[in-house]
Structure 1
Amino acid sequence: MEFHLDADKKISKFNYEVEDVNEPNLYREIFPYSEVPKVKFDGDSVVMDLPNDIYITDTTFRDGQQSMTPFKEHQIVDIFKYLNKLDNNSGIIKQTEFFTYTSRDIKAIEKCLSLGYKFPEITTWIRANLDELEIIKKLGIKETGILMSCSDYHIFKKFKSTRKEIFNKYVAVAAKALEYGIVPRVHLEDITRADFFGFVIPLVNKLMEMSKQAKIQIKIRACDTLGLGVSYPQATLPRSIPRIIAGLRKYGNVPADALEWHGHNDFYHVVPGAESAWLYGCSSVNTTLFGIGERTGNCPLEAMVMEYAQIKGNTKNMNLKVITEIAHYFSNVMGYEIPARTPFVGSDFNLTRAGIHADGMLKDEEIYNIFDTSKILERPILIAVNEYSGLAGIAAWINTYFKLKNEDKISKKDERIAQLKKWVDAEYESGRNSAISNKEFELVVKSVFQELICVEGSYAG
């Protein structure tokens, strides 16, 4: 059943029952498997409904950590401190979630709890298993994610079960969490391949009914497990993120502040997908630092900080410079190699190699820089020196690297710039095919510009 703008006329009942089908609904017309998945459109749409308050949540210690060598206990604590410092008591980076499967994880949770931070709030993640729920109860955690796979791919193929049996299992675990006074955050895994009205909405309706009775708000995390969600409101279910969010709000009766989106980047849709979740009624989007995660990764936390800034027109009192500090920590302490062209954190994200761009930056860096990266991220612009740099490129490199301003700036007409260009040209004419590193060129520049010998160079990666 597809979601339409005029759904009230086409769908008369609001108390949906689980359709306990004999054969799984695998949406083969959309997911043929032997071909690239299809996006279907029906000409209808849904209305944008941006909540007043939107948030970012984090799963670096859970989903993110699955893609890397397990973090050391002290690294988890350090990163948690950085997240708190980045949030800076704004409350925008609302929560972070942890595994509870090893003694290392539990010790890290205990140390992070002892810090007494309000943000991000510490939550956990478990499977729909009563034994795992007991661990959360003993730890005294107030909220936990509970994995509740909702597509027939999982129900029939992975669990070898039926919709009704899985429905009853999920309800029982959620009921026990409520009994313990723990807020269940239901993770609807693989929602972008699930039967929305045949299973998802009946389950969510039941959970919201239980929530009302217990006076504890159950949260719903819609999980795009394979990155199949698209941001188009005119696309049909199960792939349209706007329709999933609008449908959970309208037919699942889920309040905006109890709704969260979790995406993956398999089809390059993870950031616009998360943004569309916000725009169509979801208060929180789930992320990891630098988008680390299984396969192609999760939604990058730093990307959604920037999306928040653009949508809301402010960052409250978040400290965006900490993004650069975290990048340094991952690179220098944890040995994680951030791809050079990664926006906001890669070594080349605000570096230019093109001579014509360098000439523009020499006149005014605003011409080719996305914003004041030095002020906002403590990342001054960088100019790479190579065989294509020219006089303007070399002068721009000196001015940016040594942070020269106003009358201190070096002009491309300075005779010493021509001298440096001769050195660069000679390097490449003699067969050099490697880049000139910033440290190497710094020494060459200081041998020509004596007044810069005592001037400290900028961060250059």
Structure 2
Amino acid sequence: MPAMKNLIAGSIAERRPSIVLNDTTLRDGEQAPGVAFTVAEKVAIARVLAAAGVPEIEVGTPAMGAEEIAAINAIVREDLPVTAIAWCRMLRSDVVAALASGVGMVNISVPVSDIQLKAKFGSGRDHALKLIRDVAPYARDKGLEITLGCEDASRADVDFLLRVADCASENGARRIRFADTLGVLDPFATFAMIERLRRGCDLEIEIHAHDDLGLATANTLAALRAGAAHASVTVVGLGERAGNAPLEEVAVAVEVLYGLETGIALQRLSEVAGIVARAAGRAIPEAKAIVGDAIFTHESGIHVDGLLKDRQCYQALDPAVLGRSHRMVLGKHSGLGAVVNALKELGFDVPPDDAKAILTEIKAYAQQTKGGVSKDMLLSFYKAVHREPLGSACLHAPDAAARPN
């Protein structure tokens, strides 16, 4: 594993010194069904993203109207240490709206797959190139930096993508965004397509992955290994349908697996996730990678025993990296080692027979209540065992009325 890690890190580091994450929670994230941020919430999210070290934020879609422009203005006026980017269709009118919002960079997007070009415009590939030649120079003449967004790139012909990249470069773009708009790729196809683009164009390449098949993070990492330097992400993967590649997953994977810098303060990821989840009205699942409450919680007797002996037995990610710590809970799957350790933390040394009796009670209680055992309940089991002679009838889990809330 260390050898593979070093090999991966080395191959990426040869191409670039770091990975740039572009958070689009305020644009693509807000497009999730039922999500509608207030201006105050948008500003708060932008602030916490900036404080966490996110270098680029896609702040919204100015063409939505005056309220959206005002919200983007409010973020821009914060003068945060980030690049604020507006998302635009490949229309001059969208660029005009972006200028009114005060941003210095735009992602001007155009469909590049044959199916979307026909469905949206009733035309073909030449029409997409014509739009780029018209709108990109217009945006550059207005002083805007440009990312050329390739919508539905994952279903486009790669040779045509290279023509799009050449056209974008000739007309002032600095970056091309490869969008897996429908989340149809796997990491192998992603790697192949991005590697081909990297060999065939001199623009910065950004990957924008959707999670319809649960592969957004994997596809993002594959794109980075293949030569992309930028990754589009959202906090907790918030976004349309199944969402996007999560900021927290990509940031941690890039640093922990590849040893590369993203500039993200990993210890602040839980704070960022909490603020976004509350604004979106979405609960964070306990088992959500990186930011879930239970991801460093252990109950299994085998796992707890191993962790007590050597944390590396069952620790792929040191929780301290995220400013967190392990938590061991007692339940149906606990072993004697966990019971003895938990009682030691309460100041009690117990003989093996007592520990076995207490473990029996823990398992019965956990199975009956479908929950874990608190410190107070553990203490009550300990006291009960010492009140009755060992070998007497087995103690029973307390009645529901006697259980702590």
CA 1:139/1:369 → structure 2, altered by over 3 Å: closer, same or farther? Answer: same
Aligned equivalents of 2:236, 2:255: Cα separation in 1: 17
Q: Give the secondary structure class of the aligned counterpart of 1:62.
A: coil
Select the residue among 1, 17, 42 that pairs with 1:76: 42
Asked if residue 384 in structure 1 is aligned to residue 329 in structure 2, the reply is: yes
The answer as to whether partners of 2:113 and 2:156 remain within 8 angstroms in 1 is yes
Partner of 2:207: 261
Match of 1:273 in 2: 219
What are the within-5 Å matches in structure 2 for residues 90-169 of structure 1?
93-99=54-60, 100=62, 101-119=64-82, 121-169=83-131
Aligned residues: 369
* Equivalent residue number for residue 20 of structure 2: 55
Distance 1:394 1:107 in 2: 57
Partner-residue secondary structure (3-state), 1:175: helix
Task: Give the alignment partner of residue 372 of structure 2, picking from 422, 427, 436.
Answer: 436
Query: Post-superposition shift, 1:86?
Result: 1.5
Q: Give the direction of change, closer, same or farther, for the CA distance of 1:74–1:192 in structure 2 (3 Å limit).
A: same
Out of 198, 211, 219, the position equivalent to 2:175 is: 219
Task: Note the 1:414-425 alignment, pairs <5 A.
Answer: 417=355, 420-425=358-363
Aligned to 2:154: 192
CA distance in 1, matches of 2:298, 2:380: 24
**Cα displacement (A) at 1:348:** 2.1
What secondary structure sits across from 1:432 in the alignment?
A: helix
Q: Deviations over 1:132-155 (max 9, x none)?
A: 211111223111111111000101
Higher helix share: 2
Report what 1:229 is aligned to. Answer: 185
8 Å CA contact retained: 2:176, 2:205: yes
Unaligned runs of 5+ in 1: 1-46, 88-92, 212-216, 233-239, 451-461
Which residue does 2:191 correspond to in 1? 242
Gaps of 5+ in 2: 1-10, 384-405
Whether the aligned pair in 2 keeps the contact of 1:124 and 1:144 (CA below 8 Å) is yes
Amino acid at match of 1:219: R
Given the superposition, is the C-alpha separation of residues 331 and 416 from structure 1 closer, same or farther in structure 2, using an over 3 Å criterion?
farther
1:165–1:136 distance in 2 versus 1, CA, 3 Å: same
For 2:364 and 2:223, the matched residues in 1 are separated by 54
What fraction of aligned residue pairs are identical, expressed as a percent? Answer: 24
Letter in 2 for 1:113: V
Distance in 2 separating the partners of 1:331 and 1:414: 45
Is the CA contact 1:50–1:278 (under 8 Å) kept in the aligned structure 2? Answer: no
Q: Distance in 1 between matches of 2:348 and 2:79?
A: 50
What's the TM-score once normalised by structure 1's chain length?
A: 0.72
What are the within-5 Å matches in structure 2 for residues 324-363 of structure 1? 324-331=270-277, 334-363=280-309
> TM-score, normalized by length of structure 2?
0.81
> Which one of 122, 136, 143 corresponds to residue 181 of structure 1?
143
Deviation at 1:265, TM superposition (A): 1.9
Are the structure 2 counterparts of residues 328 and 420 from structure 1 closer, same or farther at C-alpha, using a change threshold of 3 Å? farther
Residue pair 1:289, 1:300 contacting (<8 A) in 2 also: yes
Equivalent residue letter for 1:205: D
For 1:223, what is the secondary structure of its paired residue?
Answer: strand
Between 300-309 and 390-399, report the one with greater CA deviation.
Answer: 390-399
Distance 1:262 1:355, change over 3 A: same
Deviations 1:258-310 (A, max 9, x none): 22111112233322221122222211011111112122221111111112213
Q: AA paired with 2:213?
A: F
User: How many Å apart are 1:169 and its aligned residue?
Assistant: 2.1
AA aligned to 2:116 is: H
Paired with 1:103 and 1:417, the residues of 2 have a C-alpha distance of: 67
